[in-house]
């Protein structure tokens, strides 16, 4: 089953890190991704631009609006994601716990729904 690990962190904390610590975190993240890829558990992992680059899109009464920035003001911002294959939620949680970003912020683990399968039934 696929699980999406949403990586959240406080951008102010990340921006305050000295460059050597940032480089070490990036190196550790790349190594973790490589290990997950080699085990067949990594589907895709990407980092996101900082929240200032975000645009929130809504459609209300058939009218589209685009607003600069994230939908909600929070202490932690979505910084990236890791799409993984895992046997079950327990294994997905264990994998999420190995992500370096879990030490600096949080990782939300959510099952991915296969919409084609949902539509056609079991």
122 pLDDT more than 70: no
Q: What percent of the chain has pLDDT over 70?
A: 93
Per-residue pLDDT at 71: 62
Contact present, 64 and 58 (Cβ < 8 Å): yes
**CA gap 56, 45 in Å, rounded:** 22
Its pTM stands at 0.86
**pLDDT by residue (tens digit) across 33-44?**
999 999 999 999
Going from N- to C-terminal start, the domains of the chain cover 2-120
Per-residue pLDDT at 17: 95
Per-residue pLDDT at 121: 64
Per-residue pLDDT at 41: 98
Contact present, 118 and 50 (Cβ < 8 Å): no
pLDDT band (50, 70, 90) for residue 73: low
- Domain 2-120 carries which CATH code? 3.30.70.1060
**CA gap 100, 4 in Å, rounded:** 16
Phi, psi (rounded to 5 degrees) for 33? -60, -40
pLDDT band (50, 70, 90) for residue 51: confident
Average pLDDT, the chain: 90
DSSP state of 121: -
50 pLDDT more than 90: no
Angle (nearest 5°) at CA 15 between 48 and 36: 45
**CA gap 100, 23 in Å, rounded:** 12
Angle (nearest 5°) at CA 75 between 12 and 92: 100
Nearest to 100 by CA among 42, 25, 43, 40: 25
Tokens 């699980």 -> residue: 3
Per-residue pLDDT at 28: 97
């Amino acid at each position: 089953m696929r699980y999406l690990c949403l990586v959240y962190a406080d951008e102010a904390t990340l921006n305050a890190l000295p460059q050597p610590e940032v480089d070490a975190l990036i190196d550790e993240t790349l190594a973790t991704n490589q290990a997950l890829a080699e085990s067949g558990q990594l589907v895709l992992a990407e980092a996101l631009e900082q929240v200032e680059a975000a645009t929130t899109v809504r459609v209300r009464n058939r009218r589209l609006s685009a607003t600069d920035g994230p939908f909600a003001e929070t202490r932690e911002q979505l910084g990236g994601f890791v799409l993984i294959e895992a046997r079950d939620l327990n294994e997905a949680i264990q994998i999420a716990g190995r992500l370096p970003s879990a030490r600096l912020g949080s990782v939300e683990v959510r099952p991915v729904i296969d919409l084609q399968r949902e539509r056609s039934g079991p």
